[in-house]
Amino acid sequence: MIKEIENAPLLGRNSFGIDAKASRLVEFGNAAELAAYLAAREHADAPTAVIGGGNNILFTEDFRGTLLHCVGTDFAITGNTKNKVIVRAEAGLDWDDFVSRCINLGLWGAENLSAIPGTVGAAPVQNIGAYGAKAGDIIHSVELLDMTTLKESVLAGEHCCFGYRDSIFKHALKGRVVICAVNFALSREPSPILGYGALEHETAKLGDPTLENIRRAVTGIRSAKLPDPAVIGNAGSFFKNPLVPLRKAEELKERFPEMPVYPGDTPEEVKIPAGWLIEKSGWKGAALGRAGVYEKQALILVNRGGATGKDIIALSDAITEDVASKFGIRIEPEVNIW
Ligand code: FAD
Ligand code: NAP
């Protein structure tokens, strides 16, 4: 059922804890409902955007337009092939509930992505990733509603242009479509991915690498290191890890032999952790007014209480300039700035 909220407060709808408002917030259950609402609505000329849990958005001002928010949370097995089980989840389902339900069904593929805050509908947008796994690797297809034509369609995973924290929804389809449901292809065969950091070690402490133990290990590592948005406002990693040409990385390695370097999307580039660049520039634990850099992970900017979006941007600009002048690398926000 459609629910329209005028002058909607966003304080409880964004993990940075920014006190902004939207002219209108519209909750919808599924694509048909949303299409009917969009066809009949007044204010069709106002900017329209989609918000899930607001865990990857920084509001720098009030949103003067309509925010669409899916509240559909259906979860169902819709198909079986020889090796895979297809699970359909509606966009409004909490991502970690989705992971937990897959694990309860004995389905492999989402376990390393445990405890990522947000909704199923946002997962394809930045191809959420953690501990060596990416949502794009298990997305079979994405069900869309085009906001202009009001046509529904299904986009196959291989056409979503998934890359490192990237997808077609950040480029060609940005601002054009609403993701209403996602279909996942998961495996009944055990396929643990344990090669990332301390994951293998932490899982072994709990026993065999079962789905439940991997989930518990990931959740434990995360809660020890990452700030809980319910306690301190943040949107996870504020910056993307830069992908830099091999030659540039080699030059930097001569100056900073201890600099960590990981493979990039192509053999010509490598990934350098932005958190390391920020920490090396002296920002870990620092603050600029009410905006700060988290003490345990320099990649995370935090709201130390009452910060505005502009306070967070002032800090992120200062860090970006400093890192550029020290390393010749321009780091870019991962968070959506509105
Ligand atoms: P929102 O923040 O509401 O939206 C994000 C973007 O997706 C916006 O551009 C929005 O317009 C768009 N969008 C949302 N829903 C839809 C839809 N239905 N249709 C079309 N577009 C839509 N990210 C990772 O990748 N890995 C991590 O390990 C990780 N850890 C995090 C830890 C913390 C503590 C926090 C706060 C964030 C973390 N993030 C991580 C970032 C965040 O969890 C993800 O980006 C998540 O997918 C955001 O979901 P959301 O529903 O809150 O999306
Ligand atoms: P970490 O383990 O301290 O590692 C720092 C960075 O180095 C990570 O960003 C990671 O890149 C990279 N890295 C480390 N080991 C790697 C490996 N074996 N192979 C490839 N890259 C490696 O990071 P953390 O902050 O504790 O986060 C742990 C995981 O959760 C990471 O995957 C991170 O992306 C994810 N996370 C994401 C967000 C977000 O908002 N996007 C927030 C918190 C945590 P990758 O980021 O590419 O993995």
CB of residue 196 inside a 6 A radius of ligand 2: yes
Structural domain contains residue 216: no
Q: How far is the CA of 308 from the centre of ligand 1 (A)?
A: 20
258: annotated active-site residue: no
CB burial of residue 191 (10 Å; 0-12, 13-18, 19+): exposed
User: What's the rounded Cα separation, in Å, for the pair 141 and 159?
Assistant: 9
Q: What is the CATH number of the domain that holds 30?
A: 3.30.43.10
pLDDT at 83: 86
Measured by CA distance, the residue closest to atom 16 of ligand 1 is 122
Backbone angles phi, psi at 279, to 5 degrees: -65, -45
Residues contacting 288, CB < 8 A, separation 6+ = 311, 314, 315, 318
Centroid of ligand 1 to alpha carbon of 196 (angstroms): 22
Of the candidates 107, 22, 5, which has an alpha carbon nearest to the alpha carbon of residue 63?
A: 22
What CATH number did the domain enclosing 131 receive?
3.30.465.10
* Amino acid 46: pLDDT: 84
For a pocket test of ligand 2, which of 271, 293, 300, 301 has the largest count of ligand atoms closer than 8 A to its C-beta? Answer: 271
pLDDT tens per residue, range 176-199: 999 999 999 999 999 999 999 899
- The domain boundary residue, chosen from 186, 218, 249: 186
Instruction: Show which of 31, 49, 70 is a domain's final residue.
Output: 70
Does 204 fall in a domain?
no
Indicate if 43 and 112 belong to the same structural domain: no
Q: Check if the beta carbon of residue 121 is closer than 8 Å to that of residue 135.
A: no
Burial of 95 (0-12, 13-18, 19+ CB in 10 A): buried
In a domain, 140, yes or no: yes
211-225 helix and 95-104 helix, angle to the nearest 10 degrees: 150
Expressed in angstroms and rounded, the spacing between residue 289 Cα and the centre of ligand 2 is: 27
In terms of domains, do 166 and 141 share one?
yes
251 and 333 assigned to the same domain:
yes
State whether 331 and 240 are in the same domain. yes
* Ligand 1 binding pocket mutation candidate from 51, 63, 199 (most atoms within 8 A of CB): 51
pLDDT in tens, 105-136: 999 999 999 999 999 999 999 999 999 999 99
Ligand 1 pocket residue status of 119, Cβ below 6 Å: yes
Residue 26 maps to a domain? yes
Same domain, 66 and 117: no
Assess whether 334 carries a catalytic annotation.
yes
Q: Whose CA is nearest to atom 4 of ligand 2?
A: 273
- Are the C-beta atoms of 132 and 192 separated by less than 8 Å? no
Instruction: Please indicate, yes or no, if residue 198 is contained in any of the structural domains.
Output: no
Q: Residues 179, 271: one domain?
A: no
Q: Tell how many helices (H) and how many strands (E) occur in the chain.
A: 7, 20
The residues of the chain scoring below 70 in pLDDT are none
Quick one: which ligand is closest to 241's CA? 2
Contacting residues for 229 by C-beta, under 8 A, at least 6 apart: 15, 16, 17, 55, 117, 235
Distance CA 91, CA 230 (A): 22
pLDDT at 197: 87
| Whether residue 80 sits in one domain with residue 181 | yes
Does 31 share its domain with 88? Answer: no
Alpha carbon of 15 to ligand 1 centroid (Å): 10
Residue 128 lies in a domain: yes
Residue 326 is encoded by which pair of tokens? 């020290």
Q: Which atom of ligand 2 is nearest to the CA of 297?
A: 25
Q: Is the CB of 262 under 6 A from ligand 2?
A: yes
Q: Is the CB–ligand 1 distance for residue 128 below 6 Å?
A: yes
Query: Considering 114, 167, 237, 281, which one is annotated as catalytic?
Result: 237
Domain tally for the chain? 3
Per-residue model confidence (pLDDT) at position 44: 79
Domain with 253 in it: 233-337
Whether 83 and 164 map to the same domain: the answer is yes
Is 214 among the domain residues?
Answer: no
- 223 in catalytic set: no
Q: Which of 296, 129, 279, 98 has its CA nearest to residue 218?
A: 129
Query: What is the model's pTM?
Result: 0.96
58 and 84 in a common domain: no
The pLDDT score that the predictor gives to residue 117 is 98
Looking at residue 312, which CATH number applies to its domain? 3.90.78.10
Compute the distance from residue 247 Cα to the ligand 1 centre, in Å: 33
Report the C-alpha gap between 237 and 166 in whole angstroms: 14
Last residue of a domain, one of 159, 186, 213: 186
Q: How far apart are CA 94 and CA 97, in angstroms?
A: 5
90 shares a domain with 182: yes
The reported pLDDT for the residue numbered 81 is 82
Whether 197 is in a domain gets the answer: no
253 and 318 in a single domain? The answer is: yes
Please tell me the number of the ligand nearest to residue 273's CA. Answer: 2
CA gap 54, 335 in Å, rounded: 10
